[in-house]
Amino acid sequence: MIELSLHILDITENAVRAKARQVLISILEDQINDRLTLEIRDDGTGMTPEEIKRVLDPFYTTKKVRRVGLGLPMLAQAAENAGGSFKIVSEQGKGTVVTVVFQLTHMDRQPLGDLAGTLVTLITGNPEIRFVYRHRCNGRTYALDTDEIKKEIEDVPINHIEVLKWIRLDVETGLNKINAQA
C-alpha cells in the first residue's frame, strides 16, 4: 500500500469483520514535534494475547480468503521506515486500538492519500456502523460523525449517492480548511 488512507481502509475493514459497531479514526498532524499520529479504535471482538503476538507476522491471518496478512506488517514497516512506531492494544470483548506514529517530514513517510474516498468507501459498504473521523492540524480540527449525519438526513440512507457526494465534499473542504497535508 502506497498511501496511509489504504492502510486505514484495511484496518477498518478488519474492525468491521471483528463485529465493531463503532470505529474511531483519528489523525494528528503535529508540526511542532514533527509527528503524524494515526489511531484507529474499534469496539469489536478484540484479539487474544496469542493473536496480538502474531499480528505482525505476514504469514498469519484470520481471513479465510487469503493465507497471508500483510496489512499490519506493512504499516508497521512503513512507520519504522519513517522514523516512527507501531502499537496495537486489544482485549477480547472490548476491541482494538492501533496507533501508528510517523516523523511528519520524513522523506519516506507515505502520503495520507484520498481520505475522503476511504471514508466514503467505508460508509458505502457499512452504513450500519458508526464512523467517527477526527483530523487535527495546527490547532484546527475537522470532524465527521456518521450518527450526526444520520440524524440530519432522517429517513434517507447514509449510503445514498447524493449523501455520499456531500460527505466526500465535506471531508475534502474540511481538510482544506485546516490545512491538512495530503
Domain boundaries, the chain: 4-177
More confident: 125 or 51: 125
CATH number for 4-177: choose from 3.30.565.10, 1.10.1610.10, 3.40.50.720, 3.40.50.2300: 3.30.565.10
8, three cell numbers: 486505514
150-174 pLDDT, tens digit per residue, is 999 999 999 999 999 999 999 999 9
What is the pTM for the complete model shown? 0.92
